[in-house]
Structure 1
Amino acid sequence: MTEEHVVSVDGHRIRLTNLDKVLYPETGTTKRDVLDYYARIADVLIPHTANRPATRKRWVHGVGTADEPGQMFFQKNLDESTPSWVKRRTIEHKNHTNEYPLVNDLATLTWLAQIAALEIHVPQWQFGRTGTQKNPDRLVLDLDPGEGTGLAECAEVARLARDILTGMGLDPLPVTSGSKGIHLYAALDGKQTSDEVAAVAHELARALEADHPDLVVSDMKKTLRPGKVLVDWSQNNGNKTTIAPYSLRGRAHPTVAAPRTWRELAGKNLAQLDYTEVLARVRRRGDPLAGLTAGHLASLEPTPERMAGFDRLEKYRSMRDDSKTPEPVPAAAAPTSDGTSFVIQEHHARRLHYDFRLEHDGVLVSWALPKGVPTESGVNHLAVQTEDHPLEYGSFEGRIPAGEYGAGEVTIWDAGTYDLEKWRDGKEVIVVLHGEKHGTHRYALISTAHGGDSKNQENNWLIHLMKEQPGDGTGAADASAQAAPSGKERTRVGADRARRDASRPPSPMLATLGAEADIDDEGDWAFEMKWDGIRAVAEVRGGKVRLFSRNGVDITVSYPELVELADVVDGDAVLDGEIVALDRTGRPSFGRLQGRMHLRKKDDVDAAMRDIPVHFMVFDVLEAHGESLTGAEYTRRREALRSVVGASDLVQVPPAFDGDLGAALASSSALGLEGVMAKKRDGLYSPGIRSRTWIKLKHHLAQEVVVVGWRPGHGSRARRVGSLLMGVPEGDGIRYVGRVGTGFDEKTLDEMLPRLKKMARKTSAVTDVPAADARDAVWVSPRLVGEVEFAEWTPTGRLRQPSWRGWRPDKDVTQIVVEDPSGTLGADAQAAAESSVADVGAGG
């Protein structure tokens, strides 16, 4: 008689049978052991599988032995025996439709273990709240050892890939696959499609192969793989899946796809881990892969690329008749924007409640607060997510007639803008509201759904006024601990706190290239000089100074003289400015600054500091005396800046011209500067966002480019670089824009060739290079960014008369934007180029 137990998991009754059945004969591991493992590992496994369609590999009669493997079968579609409470989503394939389970809870995981679904495979993307497939939120590389190689070689390739990924602004995390190789994961921000991410991963694999042809292969052909490690990039394809972290493997021994640390990968005794080792590790150390799921932004709704076939206001309109209600009822949602507006409306309907609305992807994502907006940090209020509202609703006040949906008086309780700290799909949203009436407050919205069928339950959240408000020196992660302190949340909060301890200031706000015609009313603008240097955010806390590049890299060690900031800044502050090096005439020289950019060793820095001193031109303040000022208008920030920062030989607060663009441009030209920055006087500071409230007006045209190759020189340039071949990102690749052979000084030429030789590759990263330029070209991996001046864009999209200005180590390829204020590049080409920037893990 079959042994049977009925257990209750997450409120669901599950029948467990054959608990003593041996599933792994070589180790005697039973179904009872498997169930126990998945129950104990669920808190760290589920964050990596939630909302992803799960493909299962089942061994109903056990995995067998190494000599006689057991029978396995794949299962994608759910069958009729699937419990009704298992969450599921449908995917339409070319000629059929499959319904997949979502491994979102322990009950589902227990059911899978009961049916011997030992392996769980998921894609790199998630379903959104509406069931629409979202863009991937992680990149994965599968390092698969060929015959004659093993984990040691995979670990070596992992370290090589880590260098490239880190240079792209990503934070790769390793997982020993439980089979033969290693997986590398990196969190993404959801801005790229699966095809775009796969293209980036493919290019990375090819770059590794070009740099290390004796160790790496990127081609799937088995005949090419002996003695090498295959970098399998294809699992980023939207139709492909990867074994989920913490899943068991159906091998002779019960090994696990186990997240590891980089220190472990450097160890001599690196090996795959079995489930008992993994349980012990997690008990001691938590989840090394927690950073993959905690903190990076995720869209609550489908991404803009998916919006064409999805009407986000359909439900809103179905509930309203524009002939009977004064509410706005537009025909469609607004075009997706980067807006960060919010509104809280007091709604005297059948029962008084407040409507909390955040602008996101062209609509107002909305929650109803039956008990109002929380005013104390110790009290959580219910927040019921409702239908998306149009952006026009943000200014609506009036009476909804009796008999209509939501009948009653609506008034605006507060409105303004918000800073987004976290947006985890269906789980958690943390924002800092900058209200016009009630000031600045940090709120957390946390979902309370736990796997039930009820739609109402799925829409129930808590809203929490966080105890730690902006400027008090603490992070946002504690909201979850206070509002929903489950074991899983405590694990995640611990990881958040670790990251918070090493926190960095926000990314600097970015400007848009423009022309004088863009400044319609000079009285609305202030004009500052544009300094020819590198951008830096300075954090002054407790008398200590840290400097960060635009990419968030700590560059303090390269500019030790700027510790003088601690003496001239009144209290703690976070400042935005430009590091410049002056020439003999006292003018900023970007070429001269090149001699300081790459230095990290103390002796090198000390020597360069004597020859090339730098200055810090401070032009904005993000935080002062514990108060965040990103939500304050430019005029107020300038007042705060003047009161916080004193002047010194190395630190200056340059003046601004009020409403006189002509005078500003004339002064900039007379001083030999790069141009003018026009800043809207009522503009807010938007970290990491390229905004039209800041417009840069240049005296000359300049363009950042990625170096894709070089041509040998002749005559006096023999055995040196003659010219560099350049490109800019476009679509899923790089567009060729010409070559540059002038503007190099002798030191640059001496250093350039050894550097480029290390990056050589066999094939070109661009496909449209004229035969004359490609004839003797040496191709390199497209990782280095430089800047050129030029006369104009040609009709074919090439740079005319480019001249080299210097390397831009403060920027990476993902941040290159085609700059063309004159429109000579062509509107279509310009739009395509700007929209093509592959923001993998980095701001544009």
Structure 2
Amino acid sequence: MALPGSRSVQTVTVDGRSLRLSSLDKVLYPETGTTKADVLAYYAAVAEPLIRHARDRPATRKRWVHGVGTADAPGQVFFQKNLDAAAPAWLPRHPIRHKDHTNVYPVVNDLATLTWFGQIGALEVHVPQWRFGPHSAVGNPDRMVLDLDPGPGAGLAECAEVARLAREILTGMGLEPWPVTSGSKGLHLYCRLDGKLTSEQVSGVAHELARALEADHPDLAVSDMKKSLRGGRVLVDWSQNNRNKTTVAPYSLRGRFHPTVAAPRTWAELDDPDLAHLDYREMLRRVREQGDILAGLDPDPQDGAGTGGAAGSAPDRLAQYRAMRDAGRTPEPVPDAVGASGGNSFVIQEHHARRLHYDLRLEREGVLVSWALPKGPPATPDRNHLAVQTEDHPLEYGTFEGNIPKGEYGAGEMTIWDAGTYELEKWRDGKEVICTLYGKENGGLARSGSAVRRYALINTGGSGAGGRNWLIHLMKDQSASASSAAVTGDGLAASAAGPEGFSGPVPSVDLPVTGNGTIGPGAAPDFVPPMLATLASATVLPDESDFAFELKWDGVRAIAVVAAGGVRLLSRNGNDMSLLYPELGNLADYVNAETAVLDGEIVALNDGGRPDFSLLQTRMKLTSAAEIDAARARTPVRLMLFDLLDLDGTSLLPLGYSNRREILDGAVSAPEDGHIQVPEQLDATLAEAVEASRDLGLEGIVAKRRSSVYRPGTRTEAWLKIKHQRTQEVVVVGWRPGKGNRASKIGSLLVAVPDGVNLKYLGRVGSGLTDRELAEVGGRLKKMARKTAPLPDVPAPDAADARWVRPALVGEVQYSERTGGGRLRHPVWRGWRPDKKPSDVTVEN
């Protein structure tokens, strides 16, 4: 997972900051050969959750400049609180004043800061349980922590036992505990607080809880720090709730000889007798597959749920702006206070800094909320540009033009590209802005199409960028005064050449270091497990005005990953299906981006133009190229796309469904032959949508909540599938010999569904299975034979002559109803599901 290239020194741009990275091949963990490049790539991949839990907290660093060493020769460690003079000027920071001195602490609020930490060998990040508030005020704790530290003769298993005991007490107090294995010896338990108690009060509560555990379980827990008392017991360390104490931040690396991390865990994991610490590779996989399982501990401050600071005081929105500028050295305005509220001005400034970009600023609540646009504002709806939110600027900046001196933040020439007023439609802080800009007749907007432009800014959360990455999208529906030239060939030419006033190639987008260790927009995006719908009936759907309706396609789910001009088609389990469907290999030609991740369904149509799952069956199990080519001509498939998950390296998962769909419409240009489509949503009521799908002979509809974010690999009620026929995916557990014409063949299959850790018997199915299918699967089932039944509840008549098999194959059946015991009445075989494994199967009522 090293950074690209083998050069010892590289200059990269992260979150718009220029960073010089050196000695990337230096080994920091000799036992595993883990290099500085690996460390930087790890922190880039976990930046988003790490920043969530470290944001606005003073960060103490433990640095191993020359690596952690070995047991025989440990590396030298530096414990650093104060920010030294060599730190970049842009690094966000806050002072803490003591009686005889002042320490200045960095705060880990962005990936650029985290990357700088990695560059200087700061492997561990430690933070307190409180955040800075307005004007660098020390806030009350917004969480409580118990550090469960095993003494000699005790280990993680004993820590987990104490954690479970503490959980009973904490939940009784109305607190939800979140476990984190520390990556060192023990385990941390966090609880979210409302910020009403002081550090002293929280420490008192934690101390009493530790004493209670010791009193009730004296052979297991101890609350006293004395080492002589800790043999075979777990210290419940309550002291880290002191305002001057810190705890290693969740997701931080540890400076052990093996690169372990402070890893959030589930309570189910704590029940595992083989519970162990996780290393950074395991954490990379978990974050990729599960996201931040600790997210509920620290709500995103952009959601208004943060704490800290004086009650009722307004935050100083220009604090970061002033901290990054020296009024004596830059001609930029540096006022003492924000301006008056109520204005609606905007400005777009052309900024010739280290790399040309454009700064969009919208007046709101006495400041200019600002975004850097590496490619300028888009001139056509089919091209979305990256917008990186920067610090709020003073209103006086709306008229600023001049040269920012070398050595100062943002050094370079600044000119006004366009300015005017804007009409606001929607503003959700940190999430979405929709507005119409009214520029000058001779301004940059007019020169590239129209002086009046309706834009949407949509927060994507970025890939570990602390929520600063947005997309700016030119809306398809422009205001009446917007020129149609915005979508003409002239508009396209303007977009391709960049905003007016810039000659030469379009400036490249500076993206953060990505999860796979690469830098820039061309890296292949990762597979995203698809979000799953829950079965529902039309009678239990919530307020239908909150939902959009799509037709349900009877096919195979596919995640399409587009990169480097090619495409990979992956099943819901991540299996590569690309070779099975070569006619879809030109998808990249119809996607208006360098890279993308799309969600859709592969379907085969019958002579009546209806999706037919049985036809698709003939394609799903082919292996030879000749057979695939013949089937391609005989049974071509189509790809129905209904979601967009990543575009040019920017994750769209945090966006609402309606926003993702609008971007999808502009990102894909469907070919005339229809083998790739973005089917339109149904402009209908729920009843009309259900009836329309029935009239078309389709399987049903999917209702999707318009505001729903995309939750990878999760079955959610934000998406509801409403089907005309009852179907159930099943696991084959055995078979019975046939009779009559099938005397020498398989007569029926015995099927079940997972029920917790066991299987629940559903019945036997023979209808719908062709002789050819039975013949083809017979040999395979016989190779999977086992002597005993893999489940306990098979009725004697069915089990009498049953042949049992290892439960590994998945199929799908249609049925009329269920019995009182949950078995299927009149099941009919629909086909095999090689795209699914038994753990994917759930009961569909």
Query: Which TM class, normalised by the smaller chain length?
Result: 0.3 to 0.5
TM-score, with structure 2 as normaliser? 0.47
TM-score relative to the length of structure 1: 0.47
